[in-house]
Amino acid sequence: MVSANRLELLQIADAVAREKLIDPGLVIEAMEDSLAKAARSRYGAEYDIRAEIDRKTGELRMSRAREVVEEVENHFTEIALSEARAMNPEAEPGDFIAEPLPTLEFGRIAAQTAKQVIVQKVREAERERQYDEFKDRVGTIINGVVKRVEYGNVIVDLGRGEGVIRRDQLIPREMYRNGDRIRAFIRDVRAETRGPQIFLSRTAPEFMSELFKMEVPEIYDGVIEVKAVARDPGSRAKIGVISHDSSIDPVGACVGMRGSRVQAVVSELSGEKIDIIPWSEDPATFIVNALQPAEVAKVVLDEDARRIEVVVPDEQLSLAIGRRGQNVRLASQLTGWDIDILTEEEESARRQAEFAERTNLFMETMNVDEFVAQLLVSEGFTTLEEVAYVEMDELLSIEGVDEETAEELQARARESLEELNQQALEKARELGVKDDLVEFEGLTPQMILALAQDGVLTLEDFATCADWELAGGWTVVDGKRQKDDGVLEPFDVSLEEAQAMVMRARLGLGWVTEEDLAAAEEGDAAEAEAEA
């Protein structure tokens, strides 16, 4: 290599850099490292030998470097300060003294070693270049050519790199052969020792979003926005869109003239049927739209649980649910709400059952006849507490109820409540509840009994509870929302109320101070303001 024309080294470096699309300087550095390694095999591996190639002339200079130290411990790589100053009067500890070495003619083995180092360095630089190029393209669509298929996974030649579409990221029933052109979504790019791993997908919801962006200029320009996508790859999909320009219909723009735009996306997705849904900020409206083509008669939302009950006509039930539950499943994925579908007949039967249950409650606890009990239920009363402590005017507004009757109803409700509370306290004390919990402000006898049945017997036990253990809540496990039942959830205790009670219990026990309580309230207020 040394006997070659000096400029030839630079020409080789430039040619390799152009071929691999990397910096020529990296190739020259690889050559310097390889030459230094080959020289160490000649002079001895103990020496710190360095090679330097002039970037303009291609001249090779080799030297032996030794560090200047006060006391030499390794004479191969270190030099005493006195000896160093004889060579360079300005030498200081920590400096390096370089002694020129004669240029060597490398043998076959040394040349082979140098070649391996260059190849390894160039390969590393190429991998780094590939990673830098593709990491910024995550979330976009790329075109490639099928290179090979291994165990159902498709290896794709991307020109300057190689990607893989795993079997579960392919649309069902799609078949590819070597040389087929393919379009896919770049889902992830990871830097690994064997090189950058580029993971592609054709089933990701984002793939459909990007396809619509390519086909619909209004989406590309930001006039129409894709708010949500749900897919059953290869079968059916729903996409929620909204227009930021009132003069443009988002659904019509995505469908295109005679369906040309949506048909282009359908063709790319192997015939996947697409429902284009107008997005709405109102969850009920959006969910009704998402359940198209089924007609919805009524919806009931539970915002805390993010669950919605949808009532449809009897003949619309199968259409709303869809084949194997596909329609309601996609609508649930699109909206992020759990959807329960009932027919009008089922909903009517359930309402009648609830009406009968509440009627029996009032008949048994207040000792009133069926007519009066039904009258209370039909006016919206659901519990004894509501009857006992409601404003008198509300009872008097019921047709046929005079002041004397209203007072009698409240008296009976309060008497029944006192009796039930007394029974609850007796049962709680049998379970071992202590007085400090019974006397704690904010807990009713029924709540105390529920706590006792859950093993909470003292104020200390109560103070160790988390707010969600009392009020209930929702957690996300493996991407699915799961319900956590709370001990006091049947009594409509909110998370904020549960947290306040627990903090008061800790304050009473001396676990926290008023300052801690004030700081926690300020933090909660700031967090709520930030979320708003």
Q: What is the CATH number of the domain that holds 190?
A: 2.40.50.140
What is the tens place of the pLDDT at every residue in 88-115?
777 778 777 777 777 665 555 545 655 5
> Can you read off the two tokens belonging to residue 467?
């707010």
pLDDT at 125: 66
Measure the CA–CA gap between 318 and 501, rounded to whole angstroms: 47
Same domain, 169 and 124: no
Same domain, 38 and 66: yes
What is the tens place of the pLDDT at every residue in 8-38?
656 666 766 666 666 666 767 777 777 777 7
β pairing state of 480-484 and 473-477: antiparallel
Measure the CA–CA gap between 214 and 143, rounded to whole angstroms: 13
For range 474-500, the mean pLDDT: 79
- With respect to residue 41, please indicate whether it lies within any of the assigned structural domains: yes
pLDDT at 108: 54
Same domain, 464 and 510: yes
Supply the pTM of this predicted model.
0.60
- With respect to residue 144, please indicate whether it lies within any of the assigned structural domains: yes
pLDDT at 275: 93
Q: What is the CATH number of the domain that holds 17?
A: 3.30.1480.10
For range 299-305, the mean pLDDT: 80
Q: Which of 495, 492, 519, 491 is nearest to 507 (CA)?
A: 519
Measure the CA–CA gap between 100 and 172, rounded to whole angstroms: 67
For range 313-341, the mean pLDDT: 89
Q: Which of 48, 53, 86 is nearest to 67 (CA)?
A: 48
- With respect to residue 350, please indicate whether it lies within any of the assigned structural domains: no
Cα–Cα distances (Å) from 265 to 158, 216, 234, in that order, read: 22, 10, 12
Does 60 or 313 have the greater pLDDT score? Answer: 313
At which residue do the structure tokens 């469908």 appear? 255
Q: Which of 368, 469, 351, 369 is nearest to 409 (CA)?
A: 368
Range 500-503 contact pairs with CB under 8 angstroms and sequence separation of 24 or more: 501/440, 501/442, 501/443, 501/462, 501/470, 502/462, 502/463, 502/465, 502/466, 502/467, 502/470
What's the whole-number average pLDDT of the chain? Answer: 83
Q: How confident is residue 238, by pLDDT bands cut at 50, 70 and 90?
A: very high
Same domain, 451 and 492: yes
- With respect to residue 485, please indicate whether it lies within any of the assigned structural domains: yes
When divided into structural domains, the chain yields a total of 3
Cα–Cα distances (Å) from 2 to 9, 52, 111, 309, in that order, read: 9, 12, 10, 82
Same domain, 8 and 93: yes
pLDDT at 116: 65
- With respect to residue 380, please indicate whether it lies within any of the assigned structural domains: no
Count of alpha carbons within 13 angstroms of residue 40, beta-carbon side: 18
- With respect to residue 325, please indicate whether it lies within any of the assigned structural domains: no
Percentage of the chain lying above the pLDDT 70 cut: 85
- Which stretch of 97-101, 233-237, 351-355, 433-437 has the lowest confidence by average pLDDT? 97-101
Q: How confident is residue 198, by pLDDT bands cut at 50, 70 and 90?
A: confident
pLDDT at 495: 84
Same domain, 155 and 44: no
Same domain, 492 and 520: yes
DSSP-assigned letter for residue 277: E
Check pLDDT > 60 for residue 258.
Answer: yes
Does 125 or 324 have the greater pLDDT score? Answer: 324
Same domain, 122 and 184: no
pLDDT at 401: 81
Q: How confident is residue 211, by pLDDT bands cut at 50, 70 and 90?
A: very high
Same domain, 124 and 179: no
Same domain, 10 and 115: yes
Q: Which of 169, 254, 175, 176 is nearest to 211 (CA)?
A: 254
pLDDT at 243: 93
- The gap between the terminal CA atoms of the chain, to the nearest Å, is 70
pLDDT at 279: 93
Check pLDDT > 60 for residue 141.
Answer: yes
Same domain, 474 and 518: yes
Q: Which of 79, 109, 128 is the last residue of a domain?
A: 128
Q: How confident is residue 4, by pLDDT bands cut at 50, 70 and 90?
A: very low
Q: How confident is residue 1, by pLDDT bands cut at 50, 70 and 90?
A: very low
Measure the CA–CA gap between 396 and 405, rounded to whole angstroms: 9
Check pLDDT > 90 for residue 381.
Answer: no
What is the tens place of the pLDDT at every residue in 148-160?
988 889 999 888 7
pLDDT at 103: 67
What is the tens place of the pLDDT at every residue in 501-518?
999 999 889 888 888 777
> Can you read off the two tokens belonging to residue 337?
């709400």
Q: Which of 150, 136, 27, 51 is nearest to 101 (CA)?
A: 51
Does 222 or 74 have the greater pLDDT score? Answer: 222
Q: Do 186 and 249 contact (CB within 8 A), yes or no?
A: no
Check pLDDT > 90 for residue 252.
Answer: yes
For range 203-231, the mean pLDDT: 93
β pairing state of 78-80 and 60-69: parallel
Q: Which of 95, 128, 161 is the last residue of a domain?
A: 128
With a CB cutoff of 8 Å and minimum separation 6, the contacts of 497 are: 471
Measure the CA–CA gap between 352 and 350, rounded to whole angstroms: 5
With a CB cutoff of 8 Å and minimum separation 6, the contacts of 95 are: 67, 68, 84, 88
Check pLDDT > 60 for residue 339.
Answer: yes
Domain coverage including residue 143: 137-201
Q: What is the CATH number of the domain that holds 503?
A: 1.10.150.20
Collapse the DSSP code of 184 into the 3-class scheme (helix H, G, I; strand E, B; otherwise coil) and give the result. Answer: strand
Same domain, 143 and 122: no
Q: Which of 110, 128, 146 is the last residue of a domain?
A: 128
pLDDT at 21: 64
Q: Do 457 and 432 contact (CB within 8 A), yes or no?
A: yes
Burial level of 437, CB count in 10 A (0-12/13-18/19+)? buried
With a CB cutoff of 8 Å and minimum separation 6, the contacts of 411 are: none
What is the tens place of the pLDDT at every residue in 406-415?
888 888 888 9
